[in-house]
Structure 1
Amino acid sequence: MKKRTLALILSAAMCLSVALSGCTADEPSQSASTPAPGGETSAPAEEGGKSLTIAVLNDVISLDPAAKDSSSEMQMASHLYDPLVDYDADLTKKPGLAESWTILEDGVTWEFKLRQGVKFSNGNDFNADDVVFSFERILNDPTLEMGVYLMRLQEVKKVDDYTVQLVTKIPYPVFAGSLVHIMMLDKETCEGLTSEEIAANPVGTGRYCLEEHVKESYIKLVRNDDYWGELPEAETVEFRVIANAATRTTALINGEVDFISNIPVMDVDRLKSDANIQVVTNPSLSCSYMGFDLLNEHGSAGTDDPNPLLNVKVRQAIYHAIDIQTIIDTVMNGYATVANSYMPSICVGYNPDAERPAYDPELAKQLLAEAGYPDGFYLRIDARSDSDMNADQVSQAIASYLEKVGITTEVNLLPRASFYEKVDAENLQSSFFMAGWGDGSGEGMVIFNDMLYTYNGKPGMGEGNKGHYSNPEVDALLDEASVEADQDKRAALVEQVDQIARDEAAYVPLFFKDNIFGVRAGLQYTPRSDDHILAWDFTF
């Protein structure tokens, strides 16, 4: 699962009528509910229903589940639609709209048996035609960003009304994990519609239906009581957009919302002291790291000097110069875990015994001298000014450590849009940058295919490799891992890749930030291993 820049632009929202037995997308609602104290809406309160108000940082760009590859879109799509393959809070794969699946003897054909009796929110039956339509739509439209998960899909075939086959270009034993965010659409409703039209009138098989969307303000959902699976407790859910962290905290304390995420570490003690609020934490899957420009012969600091970061000893020196544990203890207030890899510990291929290069400023100075930089050099750190990873303070701390080993360091803080433009792999304009990467596949191979494979070495590979690290041995090992069905053998290949990247200081992993949530009293929340906030993870 990737993190993309979100432009807050959305097509006009439509209100959908709601029936007690379920929900439909055929007629607009006659009125909108009015927010009441505590985040509840007036209508559910009168009916005695259970309501939930969740504060989120960003609005969605689109309610077309194939349009955008971003956490906000995937999170919302999970409420309105269903995939063939679903997953639990610990990322364990489980049946979704497919009751079962098998890989046929040719190694590339995946056969899925579909659930029968499932209906879309407009009453239409779900069947194989909807699956074929949903996949072919993504395969045939390069503007739909969810196509990144189907790069290895060759074709989709209907066997009968409740059996489909997905044929991959190569054997790809982790393909089922690529399907958890590919949502099924109603062919009868959506065929011939534009993405904007699909987004304006969402028709899915999910646990909830759209009631109202006011762009950049809120999205209101009503439970689909005809849902084929277990119903969530919350009958109505509002996702309220509150971008400012302090405003989110105040809204929770005042009872205006039931739940907030991305709590700044400096606000945690304040919330813990409130008897009406629970603070819940769990480790994030997103690794904060320092990336190097390994593409340009000259640094991008406005000079013609050779790029010192191309020298492996310089990169190793920077690695040894940073005391990451102290940064976690001070800047992050302890709410993070030291990273020795892009991979979180849940991943296939993670080696718990692998050692992170130790903090050693004297060794850093020695390596700089051996690399021909005994007096250091100038380096600029590009970081986001609006990051929830405390990138501004972390980058300032890193700069101070680099200064101690002789590297003159400047911190350049940028808003999100400007930062992502500067570190865009297609036109890299940054020498040294603090970024983050998260993935919920549970496969180190998938992460490294994005982050360490040579950028554009193969179609779709190295998509997250902003710094253009490239090593033919790494590429070959990842090619082998991608088709290895035996998990232990795949793990061994990934471990080799991880060690090579560590030895070559391909990047400097910093930490996995803790997710910090605030929940009002009376609610219980079970965090997921990924960063998605789903209404059915709450109980009253």
Structure 2
Amino acid sequence: MTTLRKWIAAAVIAVAPCTAMAEDLTIGMPIEPVMDPHYFWSSKYLQYYRHYLGFLVTLDLDAQVSPALAESWEAAEDGWTFKLRPDVRFSDGSSVDAEDVVASYERARNYPQAAGSYAGLFNNVDDIVAVDANTVRLETSSPYPSLGFAMTQVPIIPSEIAKSAEQADFNDIATSVSAGPYKLASYLAGQNIVLERNPDYWGEPAKFDNVTLRILPENSARMAALLAGDVDVIGEVPPEFVDRIRENEALEVHAGPSMRTVYLVVDQASEDTTPFATDMDGAPLSQNPFADKRVREALSLAIDREAIRDRVMNGLSFPTGQLVAKGVGGYSDDIAIPPYDPEKAKALLAEAGYPNGFKTKIHCTNDRYVNDGKICQALGQMFSRIGVLTEVETLPSSAFFPIVNQHPSGASMLLLAWSSAGSGEADVLAQTLRTYDADEKKGVWNLASYSNPELDALIARYETTIDKDERWALAREAMQLAVEDFAQIPIHDQSVIVGTRRDIEYKTTPEELTTAISVQ
């Protein structure tokens, strides 16, 4: 992959050489884990799983697909074949074989109670077959060039567990059987996960005897723990805390590029109604204002992306007008950052039939993206200035996603983000903008209920084109169409910011994972 971004001087922070390596490591983690590895597809939880669970293939620290449980693979127009390493065992002593992969993948793509489904990763996959004990084949209805990237996201567990376990079963650590560098030693909900080196790991032995992942969702609590020396590493350092770490001689900041773009989603499920839009007196509107492209454009023009970068993100974000970061396949140099033009926004609202504006609500997480709650507060103020009086409701992820992750969404406006780490290219198009189809599991993350047959056709051509240059050209064309229709409203690309003790050498990853594996 090409370099994601040339960092401006303020974002390039030197890494101190490693002078010591403790036998134990403690990391302050920003979110409570979901112990069931197939319940919610998210890098927030993947950073836990990468420590102790097995993966067919994985992403290295430079976001390149690398061998893991599979030592080799072959891609063809009708599917991918993976050869497993021989004689690999789970931490319970059982062998890792093709049946474990099949059962894990079937569970991940068909989990009916999933709050954040993996199903979209299996688009075009017709069948998952154990050819023999060490060979797995994913048969596809059409070429799937990025399938190798996609499979870096899905954990592998023993087939007996995959076929029978319920979500609650994973609260017992005996259910989380390891095929990774560490294995689970203990789990205290709301407090920590303790890992110990897995002596049966197939690869290079883990660096640490023990790793404690302390659950510290509050930014100030993670920062205080680092300052006090209670933890060695903290993830997701808020930009406003960066200077405090820089000024402390015992600590170091490590920053790097992210593959995650933050964007606004507005409900387009129906022209007739949307859950949280009223006139100025609070009466429901007879039409959904967000179904009108002029209203969506007005919202984009109301966003001062540079102000969000400077005042909310402490300079550590990158305003954008598209849904992938620079360097990701499908990024277009021809798409400009939208201007800030509140007067034009007001004119567009009037033209669309809302000269006096209207009221609405934006739903946001407060524990998922960097400064997500603060971004939403800023958006609420910006929208209100053009006459769209916006109530802001920020929620923990556990409460937010049950509301919005449905078809149609239970919200009128919401803040989301997408990381391209599952493909290395613009899979955001297929996952979040293709017309939702429950039977074919397409558009699973299309929470706007956006539908555009022309875009669907471009996406179908893009994701089945083998030649990379041709495929990415189609992605750029599709991105241009989506942007011109204001299908979603991009805001900025995130940075990855990690704080550590000064004697720790740490490599950030575009995947945004905070792990012991990143300690060099």
Give TM-score scaled by structure 2 length. Answer: 0.85
Q: Which residue does the alignment assign to 1:434?
A: 415
Residue 55 in 1 paired to residue 28 in 2? yes
Gap change, CA 1:157 and 1:317, over 3 Å in 2: closer
110, 122, 139: which one aligns with 1:150: 122
Shift of 1:499: 0.9
102, 125, 128: which one aligns with 2:98: 128
Gap change, CA 1:496 and 1:457, over 3 Å in 2: farther
Q: Please tell me the residue identity of whatever aligns with 1:259.
A: V
Q: How many pairs align?
A: 489
Q: 2-side partners of 1:212 and 1:384: how far apart?
A: 28
71, 86, 110: which one aligns with 1:116: 86
Work out whether residues 340 and 509 of structure 1, in 8 Å CA contact, stay in contact via their aligned partners in 2.
yes
82, 90, 93: which one aligns with 2:54: 82
Per-residue displacement from partner, 1:350-392 (whole Å, max 9, x unpaired)?
1123212322233333333433444444444333455653344
Gap change, CA 1:378 and 1:252, over 3 Å in 2: same
443, 449, 455: which one aligns with 1:468: 449
Q: 1-side partners of 2:350 and 2:108: how far apart?
A: 53
- Return 471-480 or 302-311, whichever deviates more: 302-311
Work out whether residues 383 and 411 of structure 1, in 8 Å CA contact, stay in contact via their aligned partners in 2.
no
Matches within 5 A, 1:142-181: 142-143=112-113, 145-181=117-153
Q: 2-side partners of 1:460 and 1:387: how far apart?
A: 25
Q: Please tell me the residue identity of whatever aligns with 1:53.
A: T
Q: Please tell me the residue identity of whatever aligns with 1:221.
A: L
- Return 123-132 or 92-101, whichever deviates more: 123-132
Q: Please tell me the residue identity of whatever aligns with 2:141.
A: K
Shift of 1:187: 4.5
Q: Structure 1 stretches of 5 or more lacking a match?
A: 1-47
Gap change, CA 1:150 and 1:384, over 3 Å in 2: closer
Q: 2-side partners of 1:316 and 1:339: how far apart?
A: 15
217, 225, 228: which one aligns with 2:199: 225
Gap change, CA 1:220 and 1:108, over 3 Å in 2: same
Work out whether residues 257 and 509 of structure 2, in 8 Å CA contact, stay in contact via their aligned partners in 1.
no
Shift of 1:151: 4.5
Residue 382 in 1 paired to residue 357 in 2? no
Work out whether residues 147 and 423 of structure 2, in 8 Å CA contact, stay in contact via their aligned partners in 1.
no
Q: Please tell me the residue identity of whatever aligns with 2:277.
A: A
SS in 2 for 1:529: coil
- Relative contact order: is structure 1 or structure 2 higher (C-alpha 8 Å, sep ≥ 6)? 2
Shift of 1:427: 4.5
- Return 317-326 or 383-392, whichever deviates more: 383-392
292, 298, 304: which one aligns with 2:273: 298
397, 401, 412: which one aligns with 2:392: 412
Q: 1-side partners of 2:401 and 2:158: how far apart?
A: 35
Matches within 5 A, 1:247-396: 247-296=221-270, 297-299=272-274, 300-302=276-278, 303-305=283-285, 306-385=287-366, 388-396=369-377
SS in 2 for 1:440: helix
Per-residue displacement from partner, 1:33-65 (whole Å, max 9, x unpaired)?
xxxxxxxxxxxxxxx961110011233232x43
CA-atom RMSD in angstroms: 2.8
Q: Please tell me the residue identity of whatever aligns with 2:391.
A: V
- Return 489-498 or 160-169, whichever deviates more: 160-169
Work out whether residues 381 and 390 of structure 2, in 8 Å CA contact, stay in contact via their aligned partners in 1.
no
Gap change, CA 1:298 and 1:125, over 3 Å in 2: closer
Per-residue displacement from partner, 1:454-482 (whole Å, max 9, x unpaired)?
12376222222222221110011111112
SS in 2 for 1:103: strand
Work out whether residues 346 and 442 of structure 1, in 8 Å CA contact, stay in contact via their aligned partners in 2.
no
Q: 2-side partners of 1:192 and 1:382: how far apart?
A: 35
Gap change, CA 1:168 and 1:118, over 3 Å in 2: same
Work out whether residues 246 and 252 of structure 2, in 8 Å CA contact, stay in contact via their aligned partners in 1.
yes
496, 500, 514: which one aligns with 1:533: 514
453, 463, 487: which one aligns with 1:506: 487
51, 70, 74: which one aligns with 1:102: 74
Work out whether residues 347 and 442 of structure 1, in 8 Å CA contact, stay in contact via their aligned partners in 2.
no
Residue 203 in 1 paired to residue 177 in 2? yes
Q: 1-side partners of 2:39 and 2:411: how far apart?
A: 29
Q: Please tell me the residue identity of whatever aligns with 2:143.
A: P
SS in 1 for 2:31: coil
Residue 481 in 1 paired to residue 462 in 2? yes
Q: 2-side partners of 1:409 and 1:149: how far apart?
A: 37
Per-residue displacement from partner, 1:142-181 (whole Å, max 9, x unpaired)?
4465454334333333334333322223332221122113
- Return 217-226 or 420-429, whichever deviates more: 420-429
Per-residue displacement from partner, 1:485-522 (whole Å, max 9, x unpaired)?
11111112111111111111122211122222110121
Q: Structure 2 stretches of 5 or more lacking a match?
A: 1-20
Q: Please tell me the residue identity of whatever aligns with 1:77.
A: Y
Q: Which residue does the alignment assign to 2:496?
A: 515
Q: 1-side partners of 2:109 and 2:238: how far apart?
A: 40
- Return 380-389 or 261-270, whichever deviates more: 380-389
Q: 1-side partners of 2:32 and 2:99: how far apart?
A: 31
Q: Please tell me the residue identity of whatever aligns with 1:131.
A: V
Q: 2-side partners of 1:214 and 1:150: how far apart?
A: 33
- Return 166-175 or 191-200, whichever deviates more: 191-200
Q: 2-side partners of 1:386 and 1:78: how far apart?
A: 20
Q: 2-side partners of 1:142 and 1:399: how far apart?
A: 34
Q: Please tell me the residue identity of whatever aligns with 2:27.
A: I
Q: 2-side partners of 1:132 and 1:234: how far apart?
A: 31
Q: 1-side partners of 2:168 and 2:252: how far apart?
A: 39
Q: Please tell me the residue identity of whatever aligns with 1:410.
A: T
